Amino acid sequence: MSRERPKRGVLPPAQENIEKLKKVVEEGNYYGAQQMYKSISARYVSAQRYMEALDILHSGACIQLEHGQVTCGAELAVLYVDILVKARVPYNDENLDGVRKIYTKFPQIPVPQHLGDDEDMQQISEALGAAKTRVDGCSSFLKAAIKWSAEFGAPRYGSPELHAMLAEYIYSESPEVDMARVSHHFIKGNNLKKFASVLVNFMGKCYPGEDDLAISRAILMYLSSGNLRDANQLMDELKKQVEEKQLDLPQSDLIQFVTFLLQTLQRDALPLFNMLKVKYKSSLDREPSFKELLDEIAEKFYGVRRRNPLQGMFGEIFKLKRDSYLAYGFLIVQMMGAE
């Protein structure tokens, strides 16, 4: 007996399309499969069969990534998150697991470090381009997922686990590591030990003078959010890991500064805080962002309101006008007295 076909316009169970599209990918028709994933999932969305649309996109993202099609896989991964938002899917561990599984499919390939002849240079250029594609694709996906999580039940800045994933992927896959960006996501993440491990690893491969900047920035970023506990724990974990690896923390004025700062912030010591800023000003000036971070720390721990640059500018204008009027009035009085 022949199998009854669905009536025209009636969508079959999602699994039928998942199996069909998987065969298209396995045949190597990645572009054709991509268009079909997008168009077929859109039909399920139009029919408000959101969970089935999610199943199709999830399967598509994973299988494209498994076949090395990072651009296609990342596009379907972002569409998957778009449907999470459209369907108002709540943030919880079960729904987060779908995001986790896609993340694990993004390739992790070490970026070549050694330059050789012209042929090697061509291969390295291609490898660097592929690495950028991976980082951009994974970043777009995880940023979208973080935004979804923040909107539907995660903490204010989004899922800490997703932030930690993004930080780790950027660090491990970027051709040129932006440690400020990596630190930003680790600070909002939930894996302090991994953060310390990344900083220790960075110490071994960065240019001279970048190691103490990265460590100090990480500590100051925690403190600027009012998080003295994790700032101290990160410093303790760094000391522990470098000791285990028989290494040393950088011996610099910046490291001295953050060490003294952590002690100072445990007490009501605004004058000492200001003295430290003055004493280590030349070291702090190495990184322009430190000034703003320290202003935020002063506000969080000592209630020092940050000065608005516009207010300062207008205040000076009004002061000049006031002084001019006073001088003019004084001149009139003098002239009248002379008469």
User: Is 279 contained in some domain?
Assistant: yes
Number of domains, the chain: 2
Give the separation between CA 116 and CA 70, rounded to whole angstroms.
27
Rg (CA), the chain: 28
> Final residue of a domain: which of 105, 121, 153?
105
Which residue blocks in the chain are alpha helix, DSSP H? 14-26, 30-46, 50-66, 70-86, 93-105, 118-151, 160-173, 179-187, 192-203, 211-224, 228-244, 253-264, 270-279, 281-284, 289-302, 309-338
Q: Which CATH number characterizes residue 206's domain?
A: 1.25.40.10
Pair 201, 307 in one domain: yes
> Final residue of a domain: which of 105, 130, 159?
105
User: Is 139 contained in some domain?
Assistant: no
Weakly modelled stretches of the chain, pLDDT under 70:
1-9, 111-119, 307-339
User: Is 333 contained in some domain?
Assistant: no
Give the separation between CA 306 and CA 304, rounded to whole angstroms.
6
Say how many C-beta atoms besides its own lie within 10 A of residue 73's C-beta. Answer: 27
User: Is 74 contained in some domain?
Assistant: yes
User: Is 182 contained in some domain?
Assistant: no
> Final residue of a domain: which of 85, 105, 125?
105
User: Is 160 contained in some domain?
Assistant: no
Give the separation between CA 87 and CA 50, rounded to whole angstroms.
6
Pair 192, 319 in one domain: yes
pLDDT in tens, 70-118: 999 999 999 999 999 999 999 999 999 999 999 999 998 876 655 555 5
Residues with Cβ within 8 Å of 36's Cβ and at least 6 positions away in sequence, in order, are 21, 24
Could you give the 3-state DSSP secondary structure of residue 100? Answer: helix
Compute CA distances 174 → 52, 69, 73, 178, 223, whole Å: 34, 18, 18, 8, 27
**pLDDT number for residue 2:** 43
pLDDT in tens, 279-308: 999 999 999 999 999 999 999 999 998 766
User: Is 152 contained in some domain?
Assistant: no
Q: Which residue has the tokens 């859109």?
A: 42
Q: Give the closest residue to 220 by CA, choosing from 309, 280, 143.
A: 280
Say how many C-beta atoms besides its own lie within 10 A of residue 278's C-beta. Answer: 8
**pLDDT number for residue 10:** 83
* Residue span of the structural domain in which 72 resides: 11-105
User: Is 115 contained in some domain?
Assistant: no
Complete DSSP assignment for 264-287: HTTSS-HHHHHHHHHHTHHHHTTS
